[in-house]
């Protein structure tokens, strides 16, 4: 089987014991996974398992939570800057999470630092460049499909955009506002009576209204916020 010099270099990098200095970069796409969540822990474990053996030093790690669509990653920029300063290799735990972001891939390729993706250790600058082109092409195709779909809908006579509310809807909204204003006007004297009994907090007023059997316009028990809404409506703030 023919193996090129490129392939030999890749296999040597994968199989050889790690040595030198490294800076790790972790990323999760949602706050739910979080900096201290399971997603980040899994990436840290993957990096440490990859470095296991050899003479290496992990001088720093950087982590951030943000969507894959964004390219202005401050923590990644810090990691790249430190790699340049320390002549270290950048370790990316999960390149496949970022493989559809052309801006990220191109910035990584052109960063001027050596990098290793733990989940794709065979990836080099050439591979990342191709991935960036594919990601950019996919983004353009999605955009074009969206435009074609809108054009086809328009040809079928479908009205695009947010439709204007009908007169019936406007009348219904106006009626609801009127009922809410009337309800508030009728309830304010009751609230004032409660306040005269030295109950001044919104929570306390809500408890008194509930004890007397009053309900909000939606038929629910009163809370501090619903009392505030009633008062604000009467003072013109609601």
> Comparing C-alpha atoms, which of 114, 21, 32, 108 is closest to residue 73?
108
Flag whether pLDDT at 78 surpasses 70.
yes
Tell me how long the chain is: 238
What is the arrangement of strands in the sheet containing 115-117, beginning at the earlier edge strand? 55-65, 19-28, 89-92, 115-117
pLDDT tens, 173-197? 777 777 777 878 888 888 888 888 7
* pLDDT tens digits, 35-44: 445 577 888 8
Tell me the Ramachandran region of residue 101: left when phi exceeds 0, alpha when psi lies from -120 to 50, beta otherwise: beta
29 classed as catalytic: yes
| Residue of 29, 143, 200, 226 marked catalytic | 29
Q: What is the pLDDT of residues 213-230, one digit of tens each?
A: 888 877 788 888 888 888
What domains can be seen in the chain, in order of their start residue? 5-133 (3.40.50.1390), 167-235 (no CATH)
Rounded to whole angstroms, the Cα distance separating 92 from 101 reads: 15
What residues have CB less than 8 Å from 197, skipping those under 6 apart? 208
The dihedral over CA atoms of 185, 190, 191, 192, expressed in degrees to the nearest 10, equals 100
* Residue 121 predicted with pLDDT over 80: no
Band of pLDDT at residue 23, cut at 50, 70 and 90: very high
Name the least confident of 81-85, 100-104, 160-164, 189-193: 160-164
pTM of the model: 0.48
């Amino acid at each position: 089987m023919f193996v090129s010099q490129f392939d030999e270099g890749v296999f040597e990098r994968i199989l050889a014991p790690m040595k030198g200095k490294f800076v790790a970069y972790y990323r999760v796409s949602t706050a739910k996974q979080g900096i201290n969540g399971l997603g980040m822990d899994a990436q840290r474990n993957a990096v440490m398992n990859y470095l296991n053996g050899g003479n290496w030093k992990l001088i720093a790690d950087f982590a951030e939570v943000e969507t894959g669509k964004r390219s202005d990653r401050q923590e990644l920029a810090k990691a790249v800057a430190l790699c340049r300063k320390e002549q270290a290799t950048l370790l990316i735990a999960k390149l496949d999470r970022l493989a559809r972001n052309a801006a990220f891939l191109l910035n990584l390729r052109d960063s001027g630092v050596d990098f290793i993706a733990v989940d794709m250790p065979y990836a080099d600058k050439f591979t990342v460049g191709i991935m960036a082109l594919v990601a950019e092409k996919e983004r353009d195709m999605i955009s074009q499909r969206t435009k074609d779909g809108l054009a086809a809908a328009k040809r079928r006579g479908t009205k695009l955009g947010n439709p204007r509310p009908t007169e019936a809807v406007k009348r219904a909204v106006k009626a609801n506002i009127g009922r809410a204003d009337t309800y508030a006007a009728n309830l304010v004297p009751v609230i004032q009576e409660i306040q005269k009994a030295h109950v001044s907090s919104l929570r306390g007023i809500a408890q008194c209204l509930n004890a007397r059997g009053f309900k909000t316009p939606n038929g629910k028990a009163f809370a501090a916020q619903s009392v505030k809404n009633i008062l604000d409506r009467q003072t013109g703030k609601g």
